[in-house]
Structure 1
């Protein structure tokens, strides 16, 4: 099963399990929103509509959180799974958030525009390292001056031993939050498509793409939020 088909198959139930499978859910998504918000508020202060591009948007969870925090944004959502995008569009429409959806791959050219924030949550790790680096370069070009890229991501440990420890902690925490063996097994099946990289590598790629103030803003084992700003 392709990565697109794997996520389309769980489009209707994906968000229900997210708080169990992302044990640090509130800090993870909350940090991403907090980092993305300042340039969006600055755009509003300038009298224009803040533009957000959500890469691998899935069901639109991150976009919905951003729109709730900074009312007035316009969101473009890119994802390869049409059913996931349909869930996202329904949620945004119900809340009156202007949006557009684009069915496409993260290796495709990005939707044309200048974005005050490019965001992503739990998507870029499906790319190999060369494709990740190419995406960093495309994102840097798509950002408006002063715009930010925020990636809330599943990352690899810097060593195999630490990576195994990340996995042990994830299973223990998800189980404590109510994930059963079937839910964890289903998550592992989707994770067969994963190609995570370490935080250090990915921050280096962002700096090489021309972003500044690159940093890791939050990290809890395999879940990290990092990014940078276009000068």
Structure 2
């Protein structure tokens, strides 16, 4: 089963489990929105429509949060799972948010345009390291000057011992929050597609792609928000 097939299979129930499977949900997504928002607000102040590209957008969760925080944005959502994009389209259309979708893999060329923010949440870790570096270069090139790239991501522990500890903490937390055996098993089955990298490596790759002010803005065990700005 491909990554797209695995997520299409849970498109209808995906959002309901987010707050259990991402124990730091509010801080995690909230930080991503805070990092992405300034250039979007600057575009509005300059009298133009802020453009956002959401990579591996899934059901549109991060896009919806950005649209709520900065009304007036226009969104482009990229995902390889048509069922997930259909859910995202329904959510955005119901709220009257201008958007377009692109059914594509993250290894494919990005939709043409210049974006004030390129964002992603819990998607890029499905690429191998070479794929991540290549995507970061394409994302940096797609940014307008002053635009930001933000990745809210599941990351690898920098050592095997820490990777094991990340998993132990995650399992305990989601169990406390009400994930049952079936939900945990389903999450672990999807995680078979994961190829996470460390925060340190990925911040270095962003700098190598030409971004500045690269930093990790939030981290709680395996969940991190990092990114940078195009000069």
Give 1:22 deviation, angstroms: 0.2
Query: Which stretches of structure 1, 4 residues or more, deviate above 2 A after TM superposition?
Result: none
Q: Tell me the residue number matched to 1:212.
A: 212
Q: Tell me the residue number matched to 1:8.
A: 8
Q: How many angstroms apart in 1 are the aligned matches of 2:215 and 2:14?
A: 29
Q: Tell me the residue number matched to 1:227.
A: 227
Give 1:100 deviation, angstroms: 0.1
Give 1:176 deviation, angstroms: 0.4
Give 1:51 deviation, angstroms: 0.1
Give 1:68 deviation, angstroms: 0.2
Q: Write out per-residue CA displacement over residues 145-200 of structure 1, whole angstroms, 9 at most, x where no aligned residue.
A: 00000000000000000000000000000000000111000000000000000000
Q: Tell me the residue number matched to 2:178.
A: 178
Q: Tell me the residue number matched to 1:85.
A: 85
Q: Tell me the residue number matched to 1:63.
A: 63
Give 1:74 deviation, angstroms: 0.2
Give 1:27 deviation, angstroms: 0.1
User: 1:89-108 residue pairs with structure 2 within 5 A?
Assistant: 89-108=89-108
Q: Secondary structure at the match of 1:216?
A: strand
Q: How many angstroms apart in 2 are the aligned matches of 1:109 and 1:2?
A: 19
Give 1:42 deviation, angstroms: 0.1
Q: Tell me the residue number matched to 2:146.
A: 146
The RMSD of aligned alpha carbons is 0.3
Q: Tell me the residue number matched to 2:43.
A: 43
Q: Write out per-residue CA displacement over residues 48-80 of structure 1, whole angstroms, 9 at most, x where no aligned residue.
A: 000000000000000000000000000000000
Q: Secondary structure at the match of 2:150?
A: strand
Q: How many angstroms apart in 2 are the aligned matches of 1:96 and 1:35?
A: 24
Q: How many angstroms apart in 1 are the aligned matches of 2:185 and 2:164?
A: 17
Q: How many angstroms apart in 2 are the aligned matches of 1:101 and 1:135?
A: 18
- The TM-score, its normalising length taken from structure 2, stands at 1.00
Give 1:44 deviation, angstroms: 0.1
Q: Tell me the residue number matched to 1:20.
A: 20
Q: How many angstroms apart in 1 are the aligned matches of 2:127 and 2:2?
A: 13
- The alignment status of 1:133 with 2:133, answered yes or no, reads yes
Q: Tell me the residue number matched to 1:33.
A: 33
| Long gaps (5+) in structure 2 | none
Q: How many angstroms apart in 2 are the aligned matches of 1:69 and 1:136?
A: 25
- The alignment status of 1:157 with 2:157, answered yes or no, reads yes
- Alignment size in residue pairs: 231
